[in-house]
Amino acid sequence: VISVPVELGPRRYEVLVGPGVRHELGRVLAERLAGRAERAAVVTQAAVEAAGWLADLDVGTPYDVTVVPDGEQAKSMAVVEQLCRTFARNGLGRRDAVVAVGGGVVTDTAGFAAASYHRGVAYLNVATTLLAQVDAAIGGKTGVDLPEGKNLVGAFWQPAAVLCDTEVLATLPAREWTCGRGEMAKYAFLGQGPPDASLLALPLDEQVARCVALKAQVVAGDEREGGGREVLNYGHTLAHALEAAAFDGRGDLPHGQAVAIGLVFAALLARRLGRIDDERVALHRRVIGGFDLMAALPAGADPEALVELMARDKKARHDLTFVLDGPAGVELVHGVGRADVLATLTEMGAWR
């Protein structure tokens, strides 16, 4: 088991990574809550339960299981209300705990319910998707969507611990592997020191742990998005535009694949702006390829429409803003020229 601390002073916690670490739940919960939890509310999804990952769960206290619906639509105020009402009916007290067992949808929603119920009860994440293990379950950003937009309501509420059991990934569908791999590729370019492709050569649990350590480092430096945490959006500006754009074939574009395209785009744009050299661009392509992801724009994607969408990205206030690689590493760059962005998108080429 690899233990990675998230250094947040009084809110410090550990992320445990390795095959079978879900079995540490009872011990970790008792330790972190100093034995005061008398019961727990386990929140999960049908696919996780069907895969058998709850069957041998040792919570260490009596617990109830609540299954939330599948997909992004489960991240709603209605589901949070249902969860809190269920907690109340089951007698969950302010010293008790919520345990989220699932991917990012479950950890975001259950985390926000925990942040709100009794004005905040403890919660632990047992992350069961690769994306949740390397990203969503760590860092304390919890929340749900509104019809008006994604993640519009939420709270910074740190978990008491995160368990990343690599064994449970055995049942993860191929599409969800792609989602997680796109985020993993991003981490190859974050952190101190020049990036390299060494992440690719590690065994899975060490890959996950290295990504967790990078996320933990960024979160510890900027718990509430005051400045610094935006590097986690590397590759995401174009990814969000691709996800928002309407074109043939977009429907089956997994988030991680969109991020991979966004990473290669960001590298080409950085080269065009004189921030990085050919070798660094090649490294981006090597990492993307190593994670079995495509590096070109999907067929039918319209560069003009993508530029429009990126100009409206919430991270860009009045101009085109990107997280870009450079001599000092990955950082936020404002005021990128529209012509450079368009030329880079055109340079990327398309699938098929």
Shorter beta-carbon distance to ligand NAD: residue 181 or 271: 181
Mapped onto helix, strand or coil, the DSSP state of residue 292 is coil
Per DSSP, which regions of the chain are E strands? 2-6, 13-18, 40-45, 63-68, 97-102, 122-127, 141-146, 149-156, 161-165, 322-324, 331-333
Q: What is the dihedral of CA 245, 251, 253, 254, to 10 degrees?
A: 110
Q: Which of these segments, 43-51, 59-67, 201-209, 339-347, binds ligand NAD (CB under 6 A)?
A: 43-51
Q: Which of 43, 45, 164, 321 binds ligand NAD (CB under 6 A)?
A: 45
Q: What share of the chain is helix, strand, coil (3-state, %, to 5)?
A: 50, 20, 35
- Give the separation between CA 92 and CA 43, rounded to whole angstroms: 13
Long-range contacts of 339-343, Cβ-Cβ distance < 8 Å, separation of 24 or more: 340/269, 340/272, 340/273, 341/269, 341/307, 341/310, 342/303, 342/304, 342/307, 343/272
Tell me: does residue 128 bind ligand NAD (CB under 6 A). Answer: yes
CA angle at 116 for the pair 39 and 134, rounded to the nearest 5° = 80
Shortest distance (Å) from residue 98 CB to ligand NAD: 15
Q: Which of 25, 83, 87, 104 binds ligand NAD (CB under 6 A)?
A: 104
Could you say whether residue 171 binds ligand NAD (CB under 6 A)? yes
Site for ligand NAD in 327-346 (CB under 6 A): none
- Closest distance of CB 176 from ligand NAD, Å: 5
Q: How far is the CB of 47 from ligand NAD (least distance, A)?
A: 3
The number of residues making up the chain comes to 352
In this complex, which beta carbon is closest to ligand NAD, that of residue 59 or of residue 162? 162
74: number of Cβ within 10 Å: 19
CB 285 within 8 A of CB 295: yes
Position 211 contacts ligand NAD (CB under 6 A)? no
Between 54 and 273, CB nearer to ligand NAD:
54
User: Which range, of 21-29, 97-105, 238-246, 261-269, touches ligand NAD by CB under 6 A?
Assistant: 97-105
Is 70 an interacting residue with respect to ligand NAD (CB under 6 A)?
A: yes
Judged by CB under 6 A, the residue of 7, 31, 58, 72 near ligand NAD is 72
Q: What is the CA radius of gyration of the chain?
A: 20
Q: Find the binder of ligand NAD among 18, 139, 182, 235 (CB under 6 A).
A: 139
Q: Where do we find the tokens 């009860």?
A: 121
Binding test (CB under 6 A) with ligand NAD, winner from 41, 80, 179, 288: 179
Looking at the Cβ atoms of 104 and 281, the one nearer to ligand NAD is 104
List, by residue number, the catalytic residues: 119, 141, 183, 215, 225, 229, 233, 236, 240, 255
Q: What single DSSP character describes residue 317? A: S
Q: Using CB under 6 A, which of 168, 213, 264, 270 touches ligand NAD?
A: 168
Alpha-carbon distance 37 to 230, whole Å? Answer: 35
Q: In the set 42, 47, 79, 98, which binds ligand NAD (CB under 6 A)?
A: 47
Tell me the C-alpha distance between 272 and 235, whole Å. 16
Choose which of 18, 103, 195, 262 interacts with ligand NAD (CB under 6 A): 103
Closest CB to ligand NAD: residue number: 104
Which residues lie near ligand NAD (CB under 6 A)?
A: 45, 47-48, 51, 70, 72, 75, 102-106, 108, 128-129, 131-132, 135-136, 139, 141, 151, 168-169, 171-172, 176, 179
